[in-house]
Structures are given as C-alpha cells and as structure tokens.
Amino acid sequence: MQFSELGLSAPLLKAVSALGFASPSPIQSQAIPVILSGKDVLAAAQTGTGKTAGFALPIMEKLSSGQKPGGNNVRALILTPTRELAAQVEDNIRGFNEFLDLKTTVVFGGVGINPQMKRLRGGTDILVATPGRLLDLYQQNAVKFDQLEVLVLDEADRMLDMGFIHDIKRVLKLLPAKRQNLLFSATFSPTVTALAESITQSAVKISVAPPNTTVEEVQQILVNVDKSKKVGALTALIKQQKWRQTLVFSRTKHGANRIATRLTNSGIPSAAIHGNKSQGARTRALSEFKDGTVNVLVATDIAARGIDIAQLPVVVNLDLPNTAADYVHRIGRTGRAGASGQAWSLVSADELQQLKDIETLIQKLLPRETLSGFEPDLKLAETTLSAPKKPKKPKKPKQQKEANAGDKKPQAKASPSRRRPARRKPARASTGSHAS
Ligand code: AMP
C-alpha cells in the first residue's frame, strides 16, 4: 500500500514524503479512506502506531477545500488529555501543513490565555486543545463552533483516566449535532465504549496491533537494591552500560527533582518533568532530552503520558508504581516500532507487594540480577506466580482514575508451570548473578 492510493492530494503526499514516511502504517491505510468518506470512526490504536497522521491527514484533506473559518470559528477540534500530547499533535499537523495553507492552533492550560485568545480571533481550521482550557476560552467567547465539521477525541481512555469525562460532556453540548466524530483510544474499557457509543453514529471500527506487545518484546530486568542506594545504583548502571537516552520513572514529583539533581551532580546531564513544573520548563526538558543535551529524563507517571519519543532504548523504574497497570504503561515507552528495548526496575525489599501485583498482571516473574557493589542488605523475598486477578467492574465516573488503571488485560501468555523464567542476560550487562 502506498500513500498515493489513499485518496490524499499532492500537497499532503509531498509533505508526508518530505517527512520521510515511505508507506502508510496499518492504522493509516485503514483509517484514512474511511475518514475521507465522512464516516465516524472508533479506532483502537496506541501512540507509536502513526495514529496522529491517521486522523490528521484525512481531516486536512477535507479542510483544504470548503469555506475558510470565520472570526473565532473552528472547523476541526482535536481534544487530547495532556498538554504535551496537544503540543505534539499540533507539531505533527504543522509538518503535514507544509504545502497547504491551513491555520492550526494549539491551546492548553498552564500558560497565558491571552496569546491563545488573540490567535483564535481570526478563526482556525484545526484546533488542538485540552478540555479545561478549551472551556475557559469558550466562556470568554474566544472560540465558536458554528462551522465545526470534525471532532477527534485522542487517547480517549487517558482522558477518562484523568477524570475529564465531565469536561468532555460539556464540550460536546457546545458542538453542532451534525459533525464527523473520530475516537482514538489505546484500550476499550466499558467506560470508553459507553462514551464512544454516546458520541458516534454507525462508526466504523478499526483496530491495529500495538507497536509492541510490551511484556513479550521488552527485555525486563529486576535489580534488588536497598532503598537508600537506589540513586547510586542508577548512576553506576548508566555509566557502566553507557546509556544515552534513558527515561527514569519516579513515583513522586519531589523524588524526580532530587534524582535529576543527583545524576547531574554525578556528571550525567538530567532533567525532571512533572506536574509542578511550568509548561515552559516541561517543553524545554523534553526537547533537550530529544536532542541529547540531557541524557536522562526523570518523570512521574502522569507527566510521561503522551510523550512521543520514538524507540527509547532504556526505561528505568527507580521505584515500582503503586498500580501494576502503570508498570505496563511505563515499559511500553521502550522498544517502539519493532526495536527491542530494556526495562530495568530497581526494587527494594519493601516493594514486594507492588512486585507481586505486577508479576500477577503480566503473568511473568521478572528475572533478577544483582549489581556488584550494590548488593542489598535487605533481600527482596522470592515470589511465585499466582493466577491472574479478575478485572474489576468499572466504578462510577468520579472514581474512574483508579478503576480504569486496572482495566488493562495481561498482555503476556500465562506460563503457570514455570516458576521462574529463564534468565536472559541483558546486552552488555556487567551485573552479577542473583545469589539465591
Ligand atoms: P503517533 O502514533 O501518531 O504518535 O506516531 C508515532 C511516530 O511515528 C511519530 O514520530 C510519527 O512521525 C511517525 N510516523 C507516523 N506515520 C509514519 C509512517 N507512515 N512512516 C514512518 N513514520 C511514521
């Protein structure tokens, strides 16, 4: 399949080729013709599958003809859960717009509203927005939806996880009834399905395989270290393994700052990214990580959502997440697009319960290593594999944050007969064997 067979015209084909996209990804070849035909779409696709171009290109094709937007009007609205994802989606769209003349705008909270109001004044073809800031702008009459033709909900599951259901419903009430609806979501839990059914009409369902089946393709290694020695062990590992682009997860914002500072002081340029940082600081940290100015990005779970960094080689869990599903999200950041990645977890004895929950969810015991010089005083107890837990029933919307976190099904096949998986030694690892 070629991009030229999908019904896109020359300016978009030229842009896609200038970006180096040789052929459409599965989500693109399935979604683009359907969206061009005007139908509603429900797509199960994760970040990394090329889903942004999957909805943006056909929308841009449609908007390249027809009436220009009047003052404060919007023709296509793309809602995203996070500021980072909003900025990224608009950035992608600007790339596709190189040979077109569509006006695109991105709005999100945490930065001044006035420049956004000014930008919207002349009308915009495509507006990428987070729900809260969009509602603020609407209340101030900065945005109108009389000319709205298309609505996209991007990462709908994350939007519900993050408690945006009420904001989304408020936005929906403001939109003209006659419009095309496109809903993209990595997972289809009962709550996402209910939302999808209330928004779309006779939608075409599209589903593509995730860019990697995390548990099977990511090489996972557990290193048992004492809690007080974790940052020291991380520093040693980064130097020993000569890791360049490493995403480190910390459970707390304070921890993220502390770790980034200690690493930087040890000669490993690092930055932290979390909710207390200003939008400017977050964007700067991300671009410095992408261009290699900083080697390590220390992130909290929420801040890491929606970050698009292709093919991260290594992800490190400096502490295990409280929710097992977050572990799967975290390690899914590595090994994108078929490249294999490594996920290292530095685990102290007090994290036994989190470890058990993770191993139950992924139905696999994490292979253990010890790092020489960092042998633990407090040993992490051995674990055995227990049967997968039944998925919890979805709770009412206000408790969705927790309820949805457990929605993810185990992605690996169960191997209950194998008590401990064969240990694979990570490439170039110089860790010692686990003394049992
Ligand atoms: P997304 O899933 O939309 O976040 O896209 C993931 C990454 O894949 C982005 O960096 C895109 O620029 C890139 N990408 C999207 N479509 C293609 C394609 N057809 N060929 C090569 N790269 C692509």
pLDDT (0 to 100) of residue 327: 87
pLDDT digits (tens, 9 = 90+) for 259-283: 999 999 999 999 998 878 777 888 8
**Does the beta carbon of 21 sit less than 6 angstroms from any atom of ligand 1?**
yes
Say how far apart CA 231 and CA 418 lie, in whole Å. Answer: 33
**Residue 65 Cα to ligand 1 middle (Å):** 25
Q: What is the DSSP letter of 77?
A: E
Domain ranges of the chain: 3-207, 218-369
Q: 285-290: list long-range contacts, CB under 8 Å, 24+ apart.
A: 286/84, 289/245
Q: Is residue 4 within 8 Å of residue 28, measured between CB atoms?
A: no
pLDDT digits (tens, 9 = 90+) for 160-171: 988 899 999 999
Give the CATH number of domain 3-207; options: 3.40.50.720, 3.40.50.300, 3.30.70.20, 3.40.50.970: 3.40.50.300
Confidence tier at 101 by pLDDT (50, 70, 90): very high
Higher local confidence (pLDDT), 346 or 285: 346
**Residue 337 Cα to ligand 1 middle (Å):** 9
User: Which phi and psi angles does 325 have, rounded to 5°?
Assistant: -60, -30
**Does the beta carbon of 47 sit less than 6 angstroms from any atom of ligand 1?**
yes
CA dihedral of 302, 308, 311, 316, whole degrees rounded to 10: -20
**Does the beta carbon of 25 sit less than 6 angstroms from any atom of ligand 1?**
yes
pLDDT (0 to 100) of residue 306: 54
| Angle, alpha carbons 109-303-400 (nearest 5°) | 85
Nearest CA to ligand 1 atom 15: 50
| Residue 85, SS3 per DSSP | helix
Highest mean pLDDT among 212-226, 289-303, 420-434: 289-303
**Residue 310 Cα to ligand 1 middle (Å):** 9
Q: What is the DSSP letter of 102?
A: -
Domain 218-369 has CATH 3.30.450.20: no
Element (H, E) at 330: helix 324-331
pLDDT digits (tens, 9 = 90+) for 309-339: 656 889 999 999 988 878 887 887 776 555 5
**Residue 175 Cα to ligand 1 middle (Å):** 29
Side chain identity, residue 241: Q
User: pLDDT averaged over the chain?
Assistant: 85
The answer, yes or no, to whether residue 89 has pLDDT greater than 60, is yes
Confidence tier at 308 by pLDDT (50, 70, 90): low
Q: Minimal CA–CA distance to 307: which of 78, 77, 24, 86?
A: 86
**Residue 379 Cα to ligand 1 middle (Å):** 43
State the helix-helix crossing angle for 324-331 and 352-362, rounded to 10 degrees.
70
Nearest CA to ligand 1 atom 21: 21
Nearest CA to ligand 1 atom 18: 21
Q: Minimal CA–CA distance to 243: which of 430, 369, 422, 423?
A: 430
- 3-207 matches 218-369 in fold: yes
Token pair for 127: 């507006």
